[in-house]
Amino acid sequence: MSAAEYPGLPAKPGGRWKIWLAIGIIAAITAVTLAPGIGVDFSLDAILRNWRNGTEKIGQLLVPDWSFFPRTIAPLWETIQMAIIASVIGAIVSVPLSMWAARLTNPNPVTRGIVRTLLNIVRAVPDLLYAAVLVAMVGVGALPGIIALVLFNVGIVVKLVSEAIESGDPGPGEAARAAGATQTQINRAALLPDIWPPFINQALYAFELNVRASTVLGLVGAGGLGLLIDAVRTFYRYDQLSLIILEILVVVVLIDWASAVIRKRVK
Amino acid sequence: MTRISPETPAGAAAAAPAPWSIRLRDATVRYPNGVVGLNKISLDIEAGEMVSIVGLSGSGKSSLIRTINGLVSLSSGTLEVGDHRMDLARGRELRRLRGQIGMIFQGFNLAGRTTVLNNVLVGRLAHTSVARTLVGAYRPRDRQLAYEALDRVGMLERVYHRAAHLSGGQQQRVAIARALAQEPGIVLADEPVASLDPPTAHAVMGDLRRINRELGITVLVNLHLLDLARGYGNRLIGLRAGEIVYDGPAASATDADFERIYGRPIGDQDLLGGAASSASTASPVSLPGEPV
Ligand SMILES: Nc1ncnc2c1ncn2[C@@H]1O[C@H](COP(=O)(O)OP(=O)(O)O)[C@@H](O)[C@H]1O
Ligand SMILES: [Mg+2]
């Protein structure tokens, strides 16, 4: 066929059909999930019926109960502490794990495969599920929240950093190997210096996510603001809830800003 | 600026190890994809020689250099460095032997984000425990060797600079210092000046020649430019398709010899030009100052 177009033209690489297949599958799944009876119960009708109810709640949300502020300070601080502790522990654990998971820093396919598989499992479980299970195991409080966040952080930081390692320059490592270094020495002395920037970046990104996530973990009893959110929600105190939401917003914005400043300096 | 010289006290303090010879017998390198990098090569290089290795791209120059320090393993044949069977060495023994062989790369291969000092200390890893490496606690003697090596290539004042902030020529000198810090018996250089401009290329080749003449270290340099090969080597080895097709004195190699090695007429692209290299004069050429 290619010979007809131009003599000596090599065969076209296949693969385009895969894209079309993917598009087709996604379209089919979307159609099924929206189909009445089988899929998600999505109806405009229900939204309109509940609308009156909703506007009332939004009215309350617009008027925060400022007098509630003192009672939010301790849980808010606990949430931030959980995020900080979990980010630091997660980051420290992620350094060796990232190196075990990347080919450049761990040429052994067996140990690399084991670490990668374990991490895929860790990443597959949602953080809220970790928190719920851990609350059952170690009791209500900040500890299960911190452990859940550490697992969450390790999952994403190791994935992103090991990918950054793979795309890095193998040259310095080769020079260290040629000088008689062991793999551990190669990783520490020749490769780690150039891995710091992506590592700091991903660790800070995980920290940003942690502040948001740690507010929710309390809903299942894992400490922080979430516990308070759960309480005011059960008493329909939407004015107090809106104060909490506002506080989370301010903290998240501040932390995103601080982390952006740090990232810029690391580059 | 201190330069390598037999009288330099720094040079005397570090008891220079004896240079190593290299002995290959029927050495074949076949890569996993079936490509033959070296085809039954037998070669004797005496301790203290300065050898230029030339050949077209793909002729096996890198394969030969990388075989000698075990980065590429032999498929068959034997390799001795000094009195040691490199081809049989594994694990700790292999690392110990590699520790005695310095290597210099076309792309410098420095860790860009850390200091010049930390890069040169990589040359001491074979003599440093893993625990010390992990916490970065190199012994004073190892630091001393790193400073001396940097002093020899005129880069001591850059010791705390980030490697990535240096020019190409400066980076290659740091890489040479990293090799020297190993106190090597052999230095291997794989196209060390292919990424450098002509004056800097001559300066770096001058450094390599000085290492050979003043420290007595056996030096093998891969080159594809014939004036550099002729000017800086004492012996010339020509490779084609993984086989040695020329072996003789470098200075007297004629253009016809190069045409036989390359299998085609030579032209301007095979010459670097720039500062004339004094091949036949025995006295060391003084280097131009800091290249760019
Ligand atoms: N890692 C490798 N895997 C497969 N083939 C290789 C590898 N390294 C080199 N080769 C092949 O071996 C031959 C010699 O290459 P090389 O030693 O790099 O030559 P040179 O350095 O003279 O350019 C070439 O055909 C090259 O494609
Ligand atoms: Mg090459």
The string of pLDDT tens digits covering residues B78-113 is 999 998 999 898 999 999 999 999 999 999 999 999
Question: Can you spell out the DSSP letters for chain A?
Answer: -HHHHSTTPPPPP--HHHHHHHHHHHHHHHHHHHSTTTS----HHHHHHTHHHHHHHHHHHTS--GGGHHHHHHHHHHHHHHHHHHHHHHHHHHHHHHHHHSTTT---HHHHHHHHHHHHHHHHS-HHHHHHHHHHHH-SSHHHHHHHHHHHHHHHHHHHHHHHHHTS--HHHHHHHHTT--HHHIIIIIIHHHHHHHHHHHHHHHHHHHHHHHHHHGGGT-SSHHHHHHHHHHTT-HHHHHHHHHHHHHHHHHHHHHHHHHHHHH-
The answer to whether residue A7 is domain-embedded is no
Answer yes or no: is A94 within a domain: yes
More confident residue, A259 or B70: B70
Banded pLDDT at B256 (limits 50, 70, 90): confident
Does residue A8 lie in a domain region?
no
**Does A37 have pLDDT greater than 90?**
no
The reply to whether A247 and A147 lie within a common domain is yes
Of B69, B114, B133, the CB nearest to A178: B69
State which ligand 1 atom lies nearest to the alpha carbon of B190.
21
Tally of CA atoms within 13 A in the half-sphere of B32 that contains its CB? 1
Under the banding of pLDDT at 50, 70 and 90, the label for residue A191 is very high
Residue, of A5 and B132, whose pLDDT is higher: B132
Give the residues surrounding ligand 1 with Cβ less than 6 Å away: B 31, 33, 35, 37, 55, 57-63
Using the 3D structure, point to which of A60, A75, A96 is the last residue of a domain.
A60
d(CA A130, CA A222) in angstroms, rounded, equals: 10
Query: Which region, left, alpha or beta, applies to residue A247 given φ > 0 means left and ψ of -120 to 50 means alpha?
Result: alpha
% of chain A at pLDDT higher than 90: 28
Backbone angles phi, psi at B16, to 5 degrees: -65, 130
**B109/A174 CB distance under 8 A:** yes
Query: How many angstroms away from the CA of A111 is the closest CA of chain B?
Result: 18
Shortest CA distance from B124: residue in chain A: A179
Expressed as residue numbers, the domain containing A49 is 13-60
Q: What is the mean pLDDT of residues A193-202?
A: 88
The SS3 call for residue B149 is helix
Task: Pick A171's closest partner by Cβ from B71, B105, B136.
Answer: B105
pLDDT bracket for residue A245 (50, 70, 90): confident
- Average the pLDDT over B278-285 and give the result: 39
Task: Average the pLDDT over B169-195 and give the result.
Answer: 94
Q: Is A178 found in the same domain as A118? A: yes
Same domain? For A125 and A30 the reply is no
A86 & A120 share domain? yes
In a domain, A1, yes or no: no
Return the SS3 of B96: helix
Distance CA B231, CA B241 (A): 24
Choose among B101, B190, B175: nearest CA to A181: B101
Domain shared by A93 and A225, yes or no: yes
Q: Which pLDDT value is given to residue A227?
A: 82
Residue A201 domain-assigned? yes
* Cβ A251 vs Cβ A213: under 8 Å: no
A3 within domain boundaries: no
Average pLDDT, integer, range A199-225: 83
Tell me, yes or no, whether A112 and A210 share the same domain: yes
Amino acid at A213: A
Which residues in chain A have Cβ-Cβ distances shorter than 8 Å to B136? 189
Residues linked to residue B236 through DSSP beta bridges, in sequence order: B52, B248
What pLDDT score does B124 carry?
95
Instruction: Evaluate if residue B281 carries a pLDDT over 50.
Output: no
Q: Are A40 and A158 in a shared domain?
A: no
Sign of CA dihedral A91, A92, A97, A100: positive
What does the pLDDT read at residue B10?
43
Chain B contact present for A4, CB below 8 A: no
Cβ within 8 Å, pair B178-A179: yes
Q: How far apart are CA B123 and CA B204, in angstroms?
A: 19
Q: Which of A243-247, B6-10, B275-279 has the lowest mean pLDDT?
A: B6-10
Mean pLDDT of the residues in chain B: 86
For residue B2, what pLDDT band results from cuts at 50, 70 and 90?
very low
pLDDT grade for A264, boundaries at 50, 70 and 90:
confident
Summarised one tens digit per residue, pLDDT across range A145-181 is 888 889 999 999 999 999 999 999 999 999 999 999 9
A103, A210: one domain:
yes
Could you tell me if A54 lies within 8 Å of chain B, comparing CB atoms?
no
Residue B240 contacts residue B261 (beta carbons within 8 Å): yes
Q: Which of these ranges, A255-259, B11-15, B180-184, has the smallest mean pLDDT?
A: B11-15
Total domain count, chain A: 2
The tokens describing A214, both together, are 């740690």
Residues A81 and A50 reside in one and the same domain:
no
Q: What is the pLDDT of residues A47-80, one digit of tens each?
A: 777 777 777 777 777 777 788 888 888 888 888 8
Average pLDDT, chain A: 84
Name which residue sits closest to atom 3 of ligand 1, judged by CA: B31
Query: What pLDDT shows up at residue B16?
Result: 56
In angstroms, rounded to a whole number, what is the distance separating the alpha carbons of residues A239 and A64?
4
Q: Give yes or no: residues A134 and A170 share one domain.
A: yes
Which residue in B has a C-alpha nearest to residue A179's C-alpha? B99
Q: What is the pLDDT of residues B115-144, one digit of tens each?
A: 999 999 999 999 999 999 999 999 999 999
- Angle CA(A235)–CA(A237)–CA(A238) in degrees, nearest 5? 135
The single-letter code of the amino acid at B23 is R
* A53 and A117, same domain (yes or no): no
Taking only the tens place, the pLDDT of each residue in B22-42 is 999 999 999 999 899 999 999
Segment among A32-41, B66-75, B145-154 with least mean pLDDT: A32-41
Domain C-terminal end among A60, A79, A99: A60
Q: Which of B232, B282, B236 is nearest to B262 (CA)?
A: B236
pLDDT at position B292, please? 38
pLDDT of residue A39 exceeding 80, the answer is no
**Residue-level pLDDT at B286:** 41
How far apart are the CA of B101 and the centre of ligand 1, in A?
Answer: 21
* Shared-domain flag, residues A27 and A105: no
Cβ partners under 8 Å of residue B140, min gap 6: none
Atom of ligand 1 nearest to the CA of B191: 21
Beta-carbon neighbours within 5 Å of ion ligand 2:
B 62
Does residue A27 lie in a domain region?
Answer: yes
- Helix or strand holding residue B155 (H, E): none
Residue B287: predicted pLDDT? 42
The CATH number of whichever domain residue A116 belongs to comes to: 1.10.3720.10
Q: Is residue A87, in this structure, part of any structural domain at all?
A: yes
pLDDT of residue B265: 80
Domain boundary among A41, A60, A79: A60
**Closest CB to A175 among B105, B112, B126:** B105
Distance in Å, alpha carbon of A67 to nearest chain B alpha carbon:
51
The residue with greater pLDDT, B288 or B237, is B237
**What is the spatial distance between Cα A212 and Cα A229, in angstroms, rounded to a whole number?**
13
